[in-house]
Amino acid sequence: MSLMAGKRGVIFGLANDKSIAWGIAQQLKEAGAELAFTFLNEALEKRVRPLAESLGSKIILPCDVVNEDQLAAVFAELEKQWGKIDFVVHAVAFANREDLKKPFSQTSREGFQLALDISAYSLVSMTRYAAPIMNDGGSIVTMTYLGSVRSVPQYNVMGVAKAALEASVRYLAAELGERGIRVNAISAGPIKTLAASGIANFKEKLSIAEERSPLKRLVTQDEVGKSTLYLLSDLSTAVTGEIHYVDGGFSNNAG
């Protein structure tokens, strides 16, 4: 049984083989999906292209999600090559490094806008371009983190951006439900990726999550990939507007 046989979609947010997007891509490919990828810039293209090609992908395009023209061009190309698509994976986030260090009240207007633009609004714009070329039964999944609903030390403006992202998931789900298009988020526990490597004391955060989670271990990119596969497949046809926790139970445990 191939869960994703005959399904096609695009993955935003692959940087390298440690990316959550890579765990997702491998699971989707193994389940029979056909994949397109985007990369942020030329430096990342060097890493993304070989990974994408190793999964048989032929559509590999540049996209800075704050660039409306590039976003439009990605979906225009997908329509040209494929006609329709079945899924979108949004695994993109960014805030200024200083804004994840300073006290939260020191966040500048520019820093706040940048974090929300890249990490939250991009799901809205992506959905606007994707929906017209999506088959009924299409599915969109984004990546979030517990800092949206709890004040996690240092997560700061990213927590506010993830709260906006999660609310956007619910509004998009409500809007697109009548077309049979579903929108969900996965809230992953901490994973050592490129985005995490810029965070001070990240090792300590990992060991706290490890100790406090009922599973007594961290979650993997692969496990986030398997839950994403479920949300993008026809196993979850009545699941929409949800925040699905893949954090080893950490969020449900007082510690």
Comparing CA positions, the residue from 145, 184, 140, 174 lying closest to residue 161 is 145
In the complex, minimum distance from the CB of residue 152 to ligand 0WE, in angstroms, rounded to a whole number: 5
Q: Does 13 bind ligand NAD (CB under 6 A)?
A: yes
Work out the angle between the directed axes of helices 20-30 and 221-232 (0-180°, nearest 10).
Answer: 50
Q: Which of residues 182-201 bind ligand NAD (CB under 6 A)?
A: 188, 190-191, 193-196
Q: Which is nearer to ligand NAD, 112 or 180 (CB)?
A: 112
CB-based contact 171:113 (threshold 8 Å): no
Is residue 155 part of the annotated active site? The answer reads yes
Q: Does 196 bind ligand 0WE (CB under 6 A)?
A: yes
In the complex, minimum distance from the CB of residue 225 to ligand NAD, in angstroms, rounded to a whole number: 11
Residue nearest to ligand 0WE (CB): 198
In the complex, minimum distance from the CB of residue 246 to ligand 0WE, in angstroms, rounded to a whole number: 12
b/e map 112-128, b = 16+ CB within 10 Å: bebbbebbbbbbeebbe
Mark 140-169 with x for binding to ligand 0WE (rule: CB under 6 A) and - for no binding: -----x------x-xx--x-----------
Residues 6+ positions from 87 with CB-CB distance below 8 Å: 7, 8, 9, 10, 33, 138, 139, 140, 141, 232
Structure tokens at 102: 């300073």
Interacting residues toward ligand NAD by CB under 6 A? 13-15, 19-21, 40, 44, 63-66, 91-94, 118, 143-145, 188, 190-191, 193-196
- Residues labelled catalytic: 145, 155
